[in-house]
Amino acid sequence: MSFARLSEIPRTISFRTGLLFLGLFGCSFLALFGYIYWQTSFYLKTEADTALYRQVENRSAQDAELRLHEIRKHAAQDTDGRLPHSLFDAQGQFIAGAIRQLPAYTALDKPQEFRWLKTNGHHRPVRFIVHRLDDGKLLLVAQDVHDIREFDELLINALISGGLLLLLVGLVGAVGLGYLAHRRLDKVSRSITGIIEGDLSGRLPVRGNNDDIDRLAQVVNGMLDELERLMSEVKGVCDDIAHDLRTPLTRLIAGLERAQRRDMAPADYAASVDAALSEAKGLLLTFKALLRISEIENSARRSHFAPVDLNLIAADAAELYEPLAEERGTVLSIDTHDAPVIIAGDAQLLFDALCNLLDNAIKFSPGHSQVRLSVIADATWTGIHVTDNGPGIPEAERQAVLRRLYRAEASRHTPGNGLGLSMVAAVARLHDMQLTVSDAQPGCRVELVGRTTAKTL
């Protein structure tokens, strides 16, 4: 890793978050260790003071002669000076014991500490109590607290060592987190750069552990899928506009040019103008249909959603197209449910979409065909099927027919603008439904269905 990349790690959120948690954990560690240290020291001092008070009580209960004898005997036996006892007169002059000089004290019968210079030249920390006896003499009872001080030092060293280890591990962890985050974000950045440069097929990397970045990447990838679809559709629309609108525009121009001729008969002139008007109206209808699709794709239309019964919509659409079916000799049948099939949606858009499907099925099927309209509702899917026994749509064109202005070669001589299924697809996306075209063997089946959820009443 280059130095430039290392210098970027401290600026990552992961590194800073790691340092924040290191600081919080370090403060918690210091607080806990301080509490343990204080409680341990307090306990050891309390135990030492309790032992000192007990020894003062025992020595005070002895008579003067026995006390002097016991102090001299104890001094001879306690060669290490662990529990030194001494006796001084009222003026503080040494009488007997291990400690020959009365230490400075602030009050009688109060535990205090001083450093005792022993006969071997070593200083030892000692905790002591000075008590005035009934005869006026001063009794000094002490205890060597060197072990307590060593234990305190051990605790402090453990604190320093543990703190340094914690700091080291925390810094390494923070750097590691920062490096991993930087490497991951670098991959995301490279992917975004590629997309900006025009590679709309690129996607943000997803590791699959469903963390925050994964969820964000999934949302962005979904947006990129929609963007790629729209860009592909726009490109297809441009191609189809150039292909399909060129012919009516050419006819329009030709009709107007004919109308410019001064030697035309009035009837021919009127016919040329009527033909030009017809072509212009057809173009206007095409652009109106394009604008309607754009309006449908605006998610603001969801504000018009309300409970809709698919049975009623199917019945209304079938009733509207029954005369056209009879005129072409086509048998139009409908299958609905006894119970209402309620979904949340825009009733007018769903009706228009179903009318487009019926119009295509009747228009592109030969005479005396059969068209079946079915409402489905089960534990998995809810929606509408339209099935015919016409020529069907080749498998290679089943996705292309959903594009705007796309027309299959076999249907180019049939009136239409190639926007019917595009409008149905837009309605499907608005309602979170799927629009699929399949083979009915023979004929074509178009399914407009959505997942059955708790919102499907």
pLDDT one-digit tens code per residue, 47-80: 989 999 999 999 888 888 898 898 899 888 887 7
The pLDDT score that the predictor gives to residue 290 is 67
Q: How far apart are CA 69 and CA 96, in angstroms?
A: 9
Tokens 């003026």 belong to: 91
| Half-sphere exposure for 162 (CA within 13 Å, toward CB) | 15
CA atoms of 313 and 303, how far apart (whole Å)? 20
- Whole-model pTM: value is 0.49
How far apart (Å, rounded) are the C-alpha atoms in residues 147 and 107? 25
pLDDT score of 262: 60
| Torsion-angle region of 208 (φ positive above 0: left; ψ -120 to 50: alpha; else: beta) | left
**Which pLDDT value is given to residue 299?**
57
Contact 319, 332 (CB under 8 A): no
Tokens 């790629």 found at: 228
What is the full DSSP assignment across 379-397?
SSEEEEEEEE-SS---GGG
For tokens 């009365």, name the residue: 102
Amino acid 3: pLDDT: 46
d(CA 26, CA 24): 5
Bridge-partner residues for 344, per DSSP?
A: 307
Structure token pair of residue 159? 């604190």
Nearest to residue 369, comparing CAs of 311, 320, 440, 421? 440
Q: What is the pLDDT of residue 14?
A: 72
127's CB contacts (< 8 A; 6+ apart) are 45, 48, 49, 52, 111, 112, 113, 142, 143, 145
What pLDDT is attached to residue 6?
A: 59
pLDDT in tens, 305-331: 889 999 999 999 999 989 988 888 889
Joined tokens for residue 404: 């705007």
342 contacts 307 by C-beta, under 8 angstroms: yes
Rounded Cα distance between 457 and 454, Å, is 7
Which 3-state string (H, E, C) describes 297-308?
Answer: HCHHHHHHCEEE
Q: Which CATH architecture has domain 229-297?
A: Orthogonal Bundle (1.10)
Structural domain boundaries of the chain? 229-297, 300-451
C-alpha angle with apex 116: 112 to 118, nearest 5 degrees? 155
Provide CB contacts within 8 A for 162, sequence distance 6+: 29, 33
Torsion angle of C-alpha atoms 44, 50, 55, 58, degrees rounded to 10: -160
- Output phi, psi for 234, to 5 deg: -60, -45
CB within 8 Å of 136: residues ≥ 6 apart:
89, 90
Q: Which of 373, 381, 317 is nearest to 343 (CA)?
A: 381
Residue 414 per-residue DSSP state: S
SS3 247: helix
* Residue 346 one-letter amino acid: D
Structure tokens at 226: 């929609």
| pLDDT for the residue 7 | 66
Q: Which residues of the chain have pLDDT under 50?
A: 1-4, 457
Q: What is the pLDDT of residue 102?
A: 87
Domain at 300-451, CATH class:
alpha beta
Characterise 441 by phi-psi region: left (phi > 0), alpha (psi -120 to 50), beta (else).
Answer: left
449 residue type, one letter: V
CB 88 within 8 A of CB 46: no
Residue 429 near residue 448 (C-beta atoms within 8 A): no
Q: And the tokens for 68?
A: 């002097």
* Phi, psi of 108, deg, nearest 5: -75, 150
